[in-house]
Amino acid sequence: MIGFYNWSVVLTYIGLFSSVFGITCVFEHHPSLAFICLLVSGVCDMFDGKIARAMKNRTSDEKVFGIQIDSLCDLVCFGVFPAVIGYSYGFNHGLGLISSYMIVQGAVIRLGYFNVTEEERQRICAEPRDKYQGLPVTTVAMFLPLLYLGRHNISPTAFPYVFQILMIIISILFILNINVKKFSVKTIVLMFMMAALIVLSYVKFHH
């Protein structure tokens, strides 16, 4: 088989599977499960880089492949998947179409730029990044589920509009030239807690 297979890319593929399954959950009208899948993809993305850096015997081709495959999967997980979620709220024109397009386009630009700069950075520096230019696409896996958790405090009529507007804001932040500190362990713990809360609310609703 072509390609490279190690624990870092396997975790990336697990995150991709979670998002593809989440998209099917959207089609089957299971939003809680979809947001759980988005969180799982976010956690996988946070750990795959740590695993990759811990592997000292990777070849230069494996490193470049890892950068490329990570961004390709991220485009699906944090660009296409959120666009499908947003589109499912009933906007098949206007605001919904704009926000769905912008979240994907913003992710494409952000990830393409990251690939160019990260490949060059790794040629001259082996240290991990401590900050990013532009909002990392993984933040979608935190902001959107957080909004979903707080949906009961928003009018059902207004919630779809709030969700679409948040997606537009995030897509703009993807490509703004701002420095964003790298996620800490606390962020990962927060995502796990949000996933647990969504699971509990899902179980409560279905019993």
* Total number of domains constituting the chain: 1
Structural domain contains residue 198: yes
Structural domain contains residue 196: yes
Taking the C-alpha atoms of residue 48 and residue 101, their distance in angstroms, rounded to an integer, is 27
Structural domain contains residue 89: yes
pTM for the model = 0.85
**Average pLDDT of each block of 10 consecutive residues along the chain (207 residues)?**
79 94 95 91 82 72 83 95 89 78 95 82 66 86 88 88 93 90 69 71 57
Structural domain contains residue 168: yes
Taking the C-alpha atoms of residue 63 and residue 52, their distance in angstroms, rounded to an integer, is 8
Structural domain contains residue 180: yes
Alpha carbon distances (Å) from 133 to 30, 125, 144, 179 = 34, 17, 21, 5
Structural domain contains residue 77: yes
8's CB contacts (< 8 A; 6+ apart) are: 48, 49, 51, 52, 55, 66
Structural domain contains residue 1: no
Structural domain contains residue 2: no
* Residue 95: CATH number of its domain: 1.20.120
Q: What is the torsional sign of CA 90, 93, 95, 97?
A: positive
Asked if 201 contacts 32 with a C-beta cutoff of 8 angstroms, the reply is yes
Domain that holds residue 29: 7-205
DSSP state letter for 90: S
